[in-house]
Amino acid sequence: MSEYLLALATICGVQVLLVLGLNVQFGLTGLVNFGQVAFYAIGAYTSALLTLAGVPVLLAAAAGVGLAVLASLLVGLSTLRLREDYFAILTLGFSEAVRLFLLNARELTNGPIGLSGVPRPLAIFGRGADALSYFALVALGAVLAFALCQALARSPLGRTLRAIRDDDQAAMALGKDVLAFRLTAFGLGAALAAVSGSLWAHYVTYVVPDQFTPEVTFYAWMAMIIGGPGSMRGTVLGTVALVGVLESTRFAKDVFTGLDATRLAATRQIAIGLGLIVLTVYFRRVGTRRSRPG
Amino acid sequence: MLLVGELVHLTVTGVLIASLLALAAVGLSLSFGVARFANVAHPDFMMVGAYATFAYNVGLGLAFPAAAALGIASALAIGVAVAWLAFDRLPVTGNVQLLIVSIGVSFILRHVALLIFGASPAQFAVPLQRPWVWGPVRLTANQIVTLAVAGGLVLAVHLLLSRTRLGRILRAMADSPALCQVSGVDTGRSRLLMWAIAVLLGAVAGVLFGLNLVLQPNMGWDLIILIFAATILGGIGSPYGALAGSLVLGITLEWSTLVIPFQYKEMLAFGAMALCLMFRPRGLFGGR
């Protein structure tokens, strides 16, 4: 049981990084990013591929972050000037294009079979201590990211980002370079997603394209909406709540014995759909929410 | 000579794909113009049409034309009810909220279909056909039906938009919903009719898709990049643009397979969509 709780805590830590990234983009800056999973996937695959090729883990993870930021700048430059729903569609399309690339570029990514045997750092402590030390690493990452985002939200930069979210015309009139600020927020969120992806790849020790479907993005959206967009503390609470609920559905198959794995998965997806709708109705001001930092 | 033959063959395939894309993209563009949000669940109306037809055709054993008619009618009822409930009746406003709701609707539609019909590919019960061959052009009867039905429907939408009172109202609603309302137009009812047209076009596209390929719960979702790319290339909100965008995209993607492996089609379509938004955000044919 304690092993299970440790696994749950590790998953929470990894997810917190992903949702914090989304919250910097949407909660602080108002960027409707529907492709957060793309940067998570880029971080995971880059880190996995490079460590398998013998590159030290830290360097590989840094490369993943670099590549994700580069991709976010390319996607952002083409669309951040446009209306928010164009941006939403383009980021969603980007994440599907990345997944299809991972699925089809067999020479590089091994296609649908994916990459296995991704080394887990800190394994030197031997079995048993292994999971605990990795959790410590994830927790350290999550705490650092939380502190960074909290500091960002309270800084003059964070204030500018909120001003752009609430009224970009006014921010522009005050001489703020809106595109540059949006790119900064988008890139920062992508970097956090890449760190999260890299931590995930080295935790589960394998990557397959199926781990990077759009549902990852929408889990993150649900966690952010539950916690209240713009609030970093809310993000952490929302993520813990969502992971708790979702993981407890694992036990559903012990209760409803008639459901096989496929049907159970489909039922979970229907629950995501309903959850998205209900949360959007309940927090009617998603996107116009003005919350104080912290 | 060989290359010319290959090009003609690819062009025919491209036009076939374009005709399916156009049906979906015209409906998407129409709903974007009138309801003012990007309906991510729109491609899933194709899936609903295809599986409803499948249920009558294979489940109940009806002949394909009868099954298609009943299936499209059922899909119309389901689709319009879903769109009305989720997009018109929920107390949400704003394009981002509606966009998130449409993602929820898409998750629900696809996975309800998965629960009912399973994940493995399904096919309509239609007899196998021998293609007619004219030089490099090979067409089956199903493909000719596809082209005829798609062409006919696009023409019908054109006549509806340009010649009827409803068409005038829909175009006016896309321009200014507030002005429409003060002029005494029943915008709620017109919006409902718009959903009916969009769902109908999508459902027919789904049935035609199933006639030429296979059915899967993700068949609509998997086309999402292509459909949105066609819509954006044509200038989002413009049904005529969507038709042109579909033709450009369908034919170019087929030609591209001469030099680029076919698996990368979606990535090319995504690239085209991104470049188009960067340099010509109103579409290839719109003003700047």
Q: Yes or no: say if A276 and A222 are a contact pair by the CB < 8 Å rule.
A: yes
- What's the CA dihedral at A273, A278, A283, A286 to 10 degrees? 30
Q: Give pLDDT, residue B184.
A: 80
Q: Can you tell me whether residue B55 is helix, strand or coil?
A: helix
Determine the Cα–Cα distance for residues B196 and B1; give it in Å rounded to an integer.
Answer: 47
Q: Yes or no: say if B141 and B14 are a contact pair by the CB < 8 Å rule.
A: no
Whether B177 has a pLDDT exceeding 50, the answer reads yes
Q: Is the model more confident about B152 or about A292?
A: B152
* Residue written as token pair 């293609």: B131
Whether B279 has a pLDDT exceeding 90, the answer reads no
DSSP per-residue string spanning B163-202: HSHHHHHHHHHHH-HHHHHHTT--HHHHHHHHHHHHHHHH
> What integer is the mean pLDDT of B132-145?
86
Q: Is A218 left (phi over 0), alpha (psi -120 to 50) or beta?
A: alpha
> What integer is the mean pLDDT of A113-129?
75
Determine the Cα–Cα distance for residues B190 and A75; give it in Å rounded to an integer.
Answer: 37
Q: Give pLDDT, residue B230.
A: 92
Q: Yes or no: say if B286 and B241 are a contact pair by the CB < 8 Å rule.
A: yes
Average pLDDT, chain B: 89
Q: Is the model more confident about A259 or about B55?
A: B55
Q: Is the model more confident about B204 or about A5?
A: B204
For residue B162, the surrounding DSSP H or E stretch is: helix B141-163
> What integer is the mean pLDDT of A141-148?
96
Q: Is the model more confident about B90 or about A155?
A: A155
B232 touches chain A (CB under 8 A): yes
Determine the Cα–Cα distance for residues B285 and B60; give it in Å rounded to an integer.
Answer: 46
> What integer is the mean pLDDT of B212-239?
89
Q: Yes or no: say if B31 and B158 are a contact pair by the CB < 8 Å rule.
A: no
Q: Give pLDDT, residue A258.
A: 63
How much of chain A is helix, strand and coil, in % rounded to 5?
80, 0, 20
> What integer is the mean pLDDT of B165-183?
85
Tell me what percent of the residues of chain A surpass a pLDDT of 90: 53
Q: Give pLDDT, residue B124.
A: 93
Please report the beta strands in A70-223, taking only residues with DSSP state E, as ranges in sequence order: 115-116, 206-207
Chain A contacts of B101, Cβ < 8 Å?
A: 276-277, 280-281
* Residue A124 binned pLDDT confidence (cut-offs 50, 70, 90): low
Q: Give pLDDT, residue A119.
A: 85
Q: Yes or no: say if A61 and A195 are a contact pair by the CB < 8 Å rule.
A: yes
* Per-residue pLDDT reduced to its tens digit, A189-230: 999 999 999 999 999 999 999 999 988 999 999 899 888 888
Whether B287 has a pLDDT exceeding 60, the answer reads no
* Residue of chain A minimizing CA distance to B262: A104
Q: Is the model more confident about A133 or about A157?
A: A157
* Per-residue pLDDT reduced to its tens digit, B264-276: 888 888 888 888 8
* Residue A269 binned pLDDT confidence (cut-offs 50, 70, 90): confident
Select the residue from A78, A218, A221, A256 to test the B interface by mutation, using most B Cβ atoms within 10 A.
Answer: A78
* Per-residue pLDDT reduced to its tens digit, B14-70: 999 999 999 999 999 999 988 888 899 999 999 999 999 999 999 999 999 999 999
Which residues of A have a CB under 8 Å from any CB of B?
32, 34, 75, 77-79, 82-86, 88-90, 92-94, 96-97, 100-101, 104, 215, 218, 221, 262-263, 266-267, 269-270, 272-277, 280-281, 284, 286-288
Q: Yes or no: say if A227 and A237 are a contact pair by the CB < 8 Å rule.
A: yes
Report which of A286, A228, A210 is spatially closest to residue A32, judged by C-alpha positions.
Answer: A286
- What's the CA dihedral at A215, A221, A223, A228 to 10 degrees? -170
* Per-residue pLDDT reduced to its tens digit, B181-216: 788 888 888 899 999 999 999 999 999 999 999 999
Of A86, A221, A280, the CB nearest to B92: A280
Determine the Cα–Cα distance for residues A140 and A14; give it in Å rounded to an integer.
Answer: 11
* Residue written as token pair 């290959």: B6
Q: Give pLDDT, residue B214.
A: 92
Q: Give pLDDT, residue B261.
A: 82
For residue B138, the surrounding DSSP H or E stretch is: strand B137-139
Residue B47 to residues A105, B44, B93, Cα–Cα distance (Å) = 28, 5, 27
Whether A286 has a pLDDT exceeding 60, the answer reads no
Q: Does the CA dihedral B179-B185-B186-B188 come out positive or negative?
A: negative
Q: Give pLDDT, residue A65.
A: 97
* Per-residue pLDDT reduced to its tens digit, A72-118: 999 998 888 777 788 898 999 999 999 999 998 888 998 889 998 88
Q: Which of residues 156-175 of B touch A (CB under 8 A)?
A: none
Determine the Cα–Cα distance for residues B211 and B101; give it in Å rounded to an integer.
Answer: 30
What are the backbone angles phi and psi of residue A132, rounded to the nearest 5°?
Answer: -65, -45
